[in-house]
């Protein structure tokens, strides 16, 4: 990859998204960092990425639950750098509760941010990629895009949806020099996962260590958390020329979880 390529990574001020931003910047891509807030620290993250890797970087505030802001994120990136060559749909939120107790507003927010935002960003980016004759769309799904777990109805539904969306987009763009794939992480110790632990403790009536051991890592045969850098490496590979014929599928980075 060269510095003439630009990557938009949604939800990229921390955790998996930030690691992906650094990974693509290390490959020479200009980077658009995104989150829903607009604090000095957010802009400082983009400045740090630019400084560390010698690329262009821009922070763009956009709420991924809002259709217009999803699309504006892409158009703003294209205006700044002249193109959007790589789109990584990473933004996500989580809530854990039984179906009968699941708050409607949480369901709506999870589906909007984890699934519908990818539709809006992709719809805005694909015409730019078609014009360029090259593009990569990578959707950060989850092991929960392939299998289910209790108390995560909205998240599992959204991630299963993103897998179907990935396949559909891949078929539509297959002759345009564009690929669309998904990465399915297992449990990665990110701020999102950390935030789940208290809810899981309550739902399962367990202490923290027991939840990690018996609920989270119980399904990962390696008994280790996936690292953010391992996810970033998978994304970078899918964005490379060596992955040009990988389209409409997924890479599981889950310690063997979905092999069972």
Sheet containing 30-35, strands listed edge to edge, beginning at the edge strand earlier in sequence: 57-61, 30-35, 6-9, 86-89, 135-140, 178-185, 250-253
* Nearest partner of 155 among 199, 218, 123, judged by Cα: 199
Asked if residue 141 lies in contact with residue 163, where contact means CB atoms within 8 angstroms, the answer is: yes
The verdict on whether 155 is a catalytic residue reads: yes
Give dist(CA 247, CA 139) in Å, integer: 12
Catalytic annotation, pick one of 107, 155, 187, 257: 155
Question: Chain-centre distance of CA 159, in angstroms?
Answer: 11
Give dist(CA 92, CA 161) in Å, integer: 13
Supply the residues annotated as catalytic.
155
């Amino acid at each position: 990859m060269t510095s003439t390529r630009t990557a938009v990574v949604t939800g990229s001020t921390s955790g998996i998204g930030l690691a992906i931003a650094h990974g693509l910047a290390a490959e020479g891509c200009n980077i658009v960092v995104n989150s829903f807030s607009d604090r000095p620290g957010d802009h400082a993250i983009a400045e740090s990425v630019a400084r560390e890797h010698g690329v262009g970087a821009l922070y763009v505030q956009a709420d991924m639950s809002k259709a217009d802001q999803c699309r504006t994120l892409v158009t703003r990136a294209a205006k700044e750098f002249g193109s959007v060559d790589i789109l990584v749909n990473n933004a996500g939120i989580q809530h854990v509760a039984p179906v009968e107790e699941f708050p409607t507003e949480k369901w709506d927010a999870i589906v909007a941010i984890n699934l519908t935002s990818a539709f809006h960003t992709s719809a805005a980016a694909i015409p730019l990629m078609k014009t360029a004759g090259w593009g990569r769309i990578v959707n950060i799904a989850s092991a929960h895009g392939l299998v289910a777990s209790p108390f995560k109805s909205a998240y599992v539904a959204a991630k299963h949806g993103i897998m179907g969306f990935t396949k559909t987009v891949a078929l539509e763009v297959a002759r345009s020099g564009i690929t669309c794939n998904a990465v399915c992480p297992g449990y990665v110790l990110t701020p999102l996962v950390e935030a789940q632990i208290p809810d899981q403790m309550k739902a399962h009536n367990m202490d923290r260590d027991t939840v990690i051991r018996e609920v989270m890592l119980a399904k990962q045969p390696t008994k280790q958390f996936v690292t953010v850098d391992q996810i970033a490496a998978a994304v970078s590979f899918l964005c490379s020329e060596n992955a040009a014929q990988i389209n409409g599928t997924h890479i599981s980075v889950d310690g063997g979880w979905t092999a069972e």
